[in-house]
Structure 1
Amino acid sequence: MSLVRIGLLAAIVSAAPVGVAAAYTDEDSYTAVSGTAMSVTGDIQFDDFGITFANGETLKFAELVDDHFSVGGEDVPASVYRVGRPRDPQLENGNRLCGAGPVTFIASWASGESGSVIAVFTGEDAPSSDDEMCASYTYEQ
């Protein structure tokens, strides 16, 4: 092999890891802790762009629509996302994320020191409280 080919091969091999970055980091990994999360979603990957469930199904977010949310009548810092292509994916054990129609919004807020709650919604308008959710799931990071 000529030196030019060896140099070219070395350049390609050394550049490859840069283009193959992981979509998620450890900070985006959440462990299912509630009974509903363990039986429906399993562990998840979650960030500002979407959510990936244990079985590989995903929901991509179109936009962040709010940064506060009412939980049990109390205003909390939260992220409320509009789902890009609403649907109700089949997840663990044949369960559906909502079971009441396509998921249109997902809200997430902190619970305790390292916990997070994710609530799912089917309405046309952005939710303002947990009263409107069709399901919620609790995770630890």
Structure 2
Amino acid sequence: MTSSAIAATALCVVLASPAFAETYAAVSNTAVSITGDIELDETGITFENGEQLTFEEQVADRFTVDGQSVEAHVFSLAEARDPVLLNGNTLCGAPVTYVASWETSDGSGTVLAVFSTPQPPASDADMCASYTYE
């Protein structure tokens, strides 16, 4: 097998491999009643009822939470939307444009915040809702 054939085979394997999604269990009251458990990866979020949000790109890797800068993932959405989730609830009450996630201050869970802002959020001050998972 030539080196170009080996490279092409390796590329096909990489492209055929699905993105690894992590499952998060809802723990906050809002997460339990609105989103349920979620699957989250670098391409988007799948909610317990099967609804999905698809990310366009990561726009930041730091974020301000309660006045402190933390490591985070801030993503723009491919399409602004506010899907209907559990019990007829929606994420934000307005089309979601950005999603941020970061580890809780005690390291026991992950916070997911949603935004309906036209510009990328720099802090939790502009979020329309947050949800906590472990």
The TM-score, its normalising length taken from structure 1, stands at: 0.80
1:105 to 95, 98, 108: 98
1:54 is matched with 48
1:34 is matched with 28
2:10 is matched with none
Q: CA deviation at 1:54?
A: 0.1
Q: Over alpha carbons, which structure has the higher Rg?
A: 1
Q: 1:1-60 CA distances to partner (integer Å, 9 max, x unpaired)?
A: xxxxxxxxxxxxxxxxxxx966645xx000000000000000000011100000000000
Deviating above 6 A after TM superposition, structure 1's stretches of 4 or more consecutive aligned residues are none
1:137 is matched with 131
% identical aligned pairs: 54
Q: Say what the alpha-carbon RMSD is for the aligned residues.
A: 1.6
Q: How many Å separate the matches in 1 of 2:111 and 2:117?
A: 19
Q: CA deviation at 1:113?
A: 2.8
Structure 1 residue 118 and structure 2 residue 106: aligned? no
1:93 is matched with 87
The TM-score, its normalising length taken from structure 2, stands at: 0.84
Contact 1:120 1:133 (C-alpha < 8 Å) held by counterparts: yes
Q: How many Å separate the matches in 1 of 2:96 and 2:123?
A: 16
Q: Find the residue that maps to 1:32 and give its secondary structure.
A: coil
Contact 1:102 1:122 (C-alpha < 8 Å) held by counterparts: yes
Contact 2:54 2:78 (C-alpha < 8 Å) held by counterparts: yes
* Aligned length in residues: 119
Q: How many Å separate the matches in 2 of 1:92 and 1:70?
A: 29
Q: How many Å separate the matches in 2 of 1:68 and 1:23?
A: 23
